[in-house]
Structure 1
Amino acid sequence: MADAKSLEELAQPYYWDNRYRNSANGPTYEWFKPFTSLEPLLSSHLPKPAKDGEAPRILHLGCGNSRLPIDLHSIGYKNQVCVDFSSVVINDMAARFAGNDGIEWKVLDVRHMEDIKDGDFEVAIDKGTLDSMISGSMWDLPEDVKRNTRSYIDEVVRVLKPGGVFIYITYRQPHFMKPTLIRDGTWDLAVVNLNKDAGTFEYFGFILTKK
């Protein structure tokens, strides 16, 4: 079990810069679940890729070195933006997948995405990013955790179009996460239990549709 200081470091860019620097040119890594396990959930809630015209615009929040954007690109999603506050991993992924037109890699802190316009995306996806901001007791989150998570979710709301979907994958129990995610009058919320192939963990998919 990680100690409190180690968990707090997960919310800091220097931790991830060091981690990705040490694993440069190594294999990519999937938090929680790979694309093959998530494809049924994603296919149910993502707008279909357009055969003609503009594809739905997808934002990957705290993308890390996940292959999820690449896997989605392979089935037709070619209007994606991947953001992370680690310049090391963004530079690495941009170099690795430079030939994948339709995927943009940007250094951004998801709590302060000033470079992104209001209502610019149909879809936002989080696979572990919100979880990395959380430390301390889930029954009574520390004030800095509340501040960070509030800023993050407010930004997600801002950058999604009305009717846009926020897909959040987590191992944390829904009763703990709902208070962080819910905004009165903002979302329609559904939770999907992703138990198949879960191993020792249960996983959940939160589907939050902006009103």
Structure 2
Amino acid sequence: MSASSPTRLSAEKEGEQPSKSSSTFSTDLSVLPDSNDAYLRQEYWEERYKKESNETHFDWCLRPDILLPLMRELIPSKDSRILMLGCGNSLLSEVMYDEGWTQIVNVDYSSALIEQMKEKHSVLRPSMTWHQMDIRELSFEDGSFDVALDKATMDTMMQEKGDPWSPSEKVQADCNAEVSEVLRVLRPLPTSKFLYYTWGQPHFRKRYLTREGWDLRTREIGPPGSFGYYQYVLSPKQEDQLMP
């Protein structure tokens, strides 16, 4: 991570990209850890979400209103089955659902969070589902989704202390496991996509996202005056791309 990029903790303390909503924005310092490596522990997320009400939300990286135009461009079919990886209490899933993408499957590490979200959305958004799951070991069958979306979830697995230019074997194994699982559950169709949003620059992320048979596109995005954010799109290579 470069000196100009935020750490996960510093971004949260500064109130990164608060969403415009009547819900409560999570800036209560009592839920924040003492250091970034706490974000690696499932116990931290369980305790955090137990303290927060189901009306509290936090959106890492980019607000839903900034991402929606990109979603319309990248996911033109409202019939797409979408996997939201590490959904947390972001507003993105509900905003996308209300926009017409009703086949959204949300997964998160925290069982406390998943129960909150089920309670919050079961009546207003009945076809959106919630599952406690480890993104490194998804329990879905092969070829189950049209789109998978990660908004700073992979970043959580990179919060250990150390040199970002030389990540530990565990960081590499965890990030590679997520990407491998995502590609496994995506349908083998030209329209399938893995969308990843992060503040991580390409020289830190391409090592995990460069995969045989998949085309990787990178784009710098983000509102003016904010941190620089990146959109990574992985999609199956077309037959003409695979020819030597």
Q: TM-score scaled by structure 2?
A: 0.78
User: Which consecutive unaligned segments of at least 5 residues does structure 1 have?
Assistant: 50-54
**Whole-Å separation in 1 of the counterparts to 2:73 and 2:120:** 29
1:205 to 219, 231, 236: 231
Query: What SS does the corresponding residue of 1:31 show, helix, strand or coil?
Result: coil
Instruction: Tell me the residue number matched to 1:21.
Output: 50
Instruction: Tell me the residue number matched to 1:47.
Output: 76
1:31 to 54, 60, 72: 60
Residue 147 of structure 2 is aligned to residue 123 of structure 1: yes
1:189 to 207, 211, 216: 216
Q: Alpha-carbon deviation of 1:197?
A: 3.6
**Whole-Å separation in 2 of the counterparts to 1:195 and 1:25:** 28
With over 3 angstroms needed to count, the CA separation of the structure-2 counterparts of 1:45 and 1:97, relative to structure 1, is same
1:103 to 128, 146, 162: 128
Alignment check: 8 A CA contact 2:135 2:178 kept: yes
Count of residues in correspondence between the two structures: 202
Query: What SS does the corresponding residue of 2:56 show, helix, strand or coil?
Result: coil
Query: What SS does the corresponding residue of 1:124 show, helix, strand or coil?
Result: strand
**Whole-Å separation in 2 of the counterparts to 1:61 and 1:195:** 21
1:112 to 137, 143, 164: 137
User: Which consecutive unaligned segments of at least 5 residues does structure 2 have?
Assistant: 1-6, 11-33, 238-244
Alignment check: 8 A CA contact 1:166 1:207 kept: yes
Instruction: Tell me the residue number matched to 1:84.
Output: 108
Instruction: Tell me the residue number matched to 1:171.
Output: 199
Query: What SS does the corresponding residue of 2:187 show, helix, strand or coil?
Result: strand
Query: What SS does the corresponding residue of 2:155 show, helix, strand or coil?
Result: helix
Task: State which structure, 1 or 2, has the greater radius of gyration over its C-alpha atoms.
Answer: 2
Q: Alpha-carbon deviation of 1:12?
A: 2.2
State the AA in 2 paired with 1:10. Answer: Y
Instruction: Tell me the residue number matched to 1:52.
Output: none
Alignment check: 8 A CA contact 2:108 2:131 kept: yes
Q: Deviations over 1:90-145 (max 9, x none)?
A: 1001101112022000010000112x010100000000100000133221001111
Query: What SS does the corresponding residue of 2:93 show, helix, strand or coil?
Result: helix
Identity of aligned residues (%): 35
Q: TM-score scaled by structure 1?
A: 0.90
State the AA in 1 paired with 2:228. Answer: E
Q: Deviations over 1:177-207 (max 9, x none)?
A: 111211122x2111121132452x1011111
Instruction: Tell me the residue number matched to 2:169.
Output: 143
User: 5 Å matches for 1:146-165?
Assistant: 146-162=172-188, 163=190, 164-165=192-193
